Amino acid sequence: MFFSRRTDWPLVPNELAGILQNMRAQGQEILDLTESNPTRCGFSYSPSVLSAFNVPENLTYDPASQGAPKARQAVAGYYAAKGLSVNADDIILTSSTSEAYAFLLRLLLNPGEKALVPRPSYPLFSFLLELNDVAYAQYPLVYDGVWRLDQQALQDAVDEKTRAVILVNPNNPTGSYVQKDELDFLNGLCLRHSLSLISDEVFMDYAWGPRAGVTLMGNASVPTFVLGGLSKALGLPQMKMSWLAASGPRDTVAAAMGRLEIIADTFLSVNTPVQNAAGVWLAGAGGIQDHLLRRVKDNGQWLNAHVPAGVKVLSAQGGWYAVLAIEGLADEESFVTGLLKDERVLVHPGYFFDFEASGYVVVSLLPAAEIFCQAAGRLLRYK
Ligand SMILES: Cc1ncc(COP(=O)(O)O)c(C=O)c1O
């Protein structure tokens, strides 16, 4: 065997991906309600996105292991504008949020040790954790009109191998934020078991109303790492710049930053032009965020106004997605493949995000209104 066990994946496309591939090859037009790439959703970006590249500094390579100081200060300034204080020295720039996760897993866990991840959530976790040789267990988020952390189940999932709890705040796809009482519980749990917190806050700017929840930025009781990035904050996934910001007991943060600096220095992965542009871009973050937020709120309202009996849009406080619970839907796979073949509408089945039970589909709220309403209309009529 030439290859490692960690890459022993079944390399065959699933049925849905196969059907999609065939339909696209035949030139059929698909209405894509999984589209969450903002650069394909008809937004107009400020000319400064490109003009910020036109600076002579881009012709000099001046590597900095944590990321260029000016770019880290720009990230600190972006939080300061929201009233959140973070020291630029406690920030590491990475080329993606996935890379930030990888750095943190390397920092915090030995091979075989365990991180706890939410369920339902972001489908990339199994890959991210397995590729870094760490184990994971899922803790449930439960829905009873709002999504809540199942505190007992989370506590029960902690064992002697557990080193970190990962939060997605707000969570993808449930759009639920960590609440103050949940953070108090998490801090207590982590203190008792010497665990660190990793909070993926890439969607934090997209709250649909006031008082959606709390950020972990600046959380002081236990070692805490908040992740963010340009892909969601500015709708610029192609620019490939993300960050992690550390907080917690001062001596632990200092030790963590020393180690993270060496991890980051091993890769030096963020390119110079993007770091030079980050200050201009982040200072104007409000512009594109207003457009993105308007879009997701309008599409969400349309959806809520049009759901027929037997379908529920689960309540959420933010993010770019909506979860629909469809009464009597036992077989998500045949529903989504049928919808694709019969109506040419693509949605995510709930199992993609590891929902506890079947009966869910997930749609992106980012597509332009004319596409969204047409596609969602077909979805809601489909039986
Ligand atoms: C919860 C969550 N974290 C991270 C990412 C990816 O961010 P990046 O493009 O910075 O790697 C996504 C992308 O959809 C996401 O949903």
pLDDT in tens, 338-361: 999 999 999 999 999 999 999 999
Phi-psi region of 359 (alpha: psi -120 to 50; beta: other; left: phi over 0): left
Query: What value, to the nearest 5°, has the Cα angle with vertex 179 and ends 176 and 180?
Result: 165
- Binding site membership of 183 for ligand 1 (Cβ less than 6 Å): no
Whole-number percent of the chain with pLDDT over 90: 97
Distance 204 CA to ligand 1 centre (A): 12
Query: What value, to the nearest 5°, has the Cα angle with vertex 319 and ends 168 and 358?
Result: 75
Average pLDDT over residues 20-43: 97
3-state SS class at 139: strand
Confidence at residue 356, expressed as pLDDT on a 0 to 100 scale: 92
Query: What value, to the nearest 5°, has the Cα angle with vertex 312 and ends 307 and 314?
Result: 125
Q: Is the dihedral of CA 353, 356, 357, 359 positive or negative?
A: negative
3-state DSSP helix/strand/coil % of the chain, to nearest 5 = 45, 20, 40
Label residue 12 by pLDDT band (50, 70, 90): confident
Confidence at residue 195, expressed as pLDDT on a 0 to 100 scale: 98
- Binding site membership of 168 for ligand 1 (Cβ less than 6 Å): yes
Domains 5-44+286-381 and 55-283 share a fold: no
CA-nearest residue for atom 4, ligand 1, is 97
What's the rounded Cα separation, in Å, for the pair 313 and 306?
A: 10
209-228 pLDDT, tens per residue? 998 999 999 999 999 999 99
Give me the amino acid identity at 373. Answer: C
36-66 pLDDT, tens per residue? 999 999 999 999 999 999 999 999 999 999 9
Instruction: Give the DSSP H/E element, type plus range, for residue 24.
Output: helix 15-25
Mean pLDDT of the chain: 97
Residue by residue, DSSP assigns 187-253 as: HHHHHHHT-EEEEE-TTTT-BSSS------TT--SS-EEEEEEHHHHSS-GGG--EEEEEESSHHHH
| Nearest by Cα to 339 from 7, 2, 33 | 33
308-333 pLDDT, tens per residue? 999 999 999 999 999 999 999 999 99
Q: Is the dihedral of CA 186, 191, 192, 194 positive or negative?
A: positive
Average pLDDT over residues 367-380: 98
Q: List the chain domain ranges.
A: 5-44+286-381, 55-283
3-state SS class at 363: strand
Instruction: Give the DSSP H/E element, type plus range, for residue 108.
Output: helix 97-108
Give me 158's structure tokens.
């902690």
- Binding site membership of 172 for ligand 1 (Cβ less than 6 Å): yes
285 φ/ψ angles, rounded to the nearest 5 degrees: -55, -35
Confidence at residue 333, expressed as pLDDT on a 0 to 100 scale: 95
Q: Which atom of ligand 1 is nearest to the CA of 98?
A: 11
3-state SS class at 137: strand
What's the rounded Cα separation, in Å, for the pair 216 and 208?
A: 19
Confidence at residue 163, expressed as pLDDT on a 0 to 100 scale: 98
Q: What is 5-44+286-381's CATH number?
A: 3.90.1150.10
Q: Residue 56 to residues 52, 273, 276: CA-CA distances in angstroms? A: 11, 10, 10
| Nearest by Cα to 256 from 196, 201, 186, 200 | 196
59-107 pLDDT, tens per residue? 999 999 999 999 999 999 999 999 999 999 999 999 999 999 999 999 9
251-264 pLDDT, tens per residue? 999 999 999 999 99
Confidence at residue 85, expressed as pLDDT on a 0 to 100 scale: 96
Q: Is the pLDDT of residue 383 over 80?
A: no
3-state SS class at 264: helix
pTM for this prediction: 0.97
Q: Is the pLDDT of residue 232 over 80?
A: yes
Topology of the domain covering 55-283: Aspartate Aminotransferase; domain 2 (3.40.640)
Confidence at residue 282, expressed as pLDDT on a 0 to 100 scale: 97
Give me the amino acid identity at 149. Answer: L
Q: Which atom of ligand 1 is nearest to the CA of 229?
A: 10
Cα-to-chain-centroid distance, residue 51? 28
3-state SS class at 360: strand
Distance 97 CA to ligand 1 centre (A): 6
Give me 78's structure tokens.
């972006």
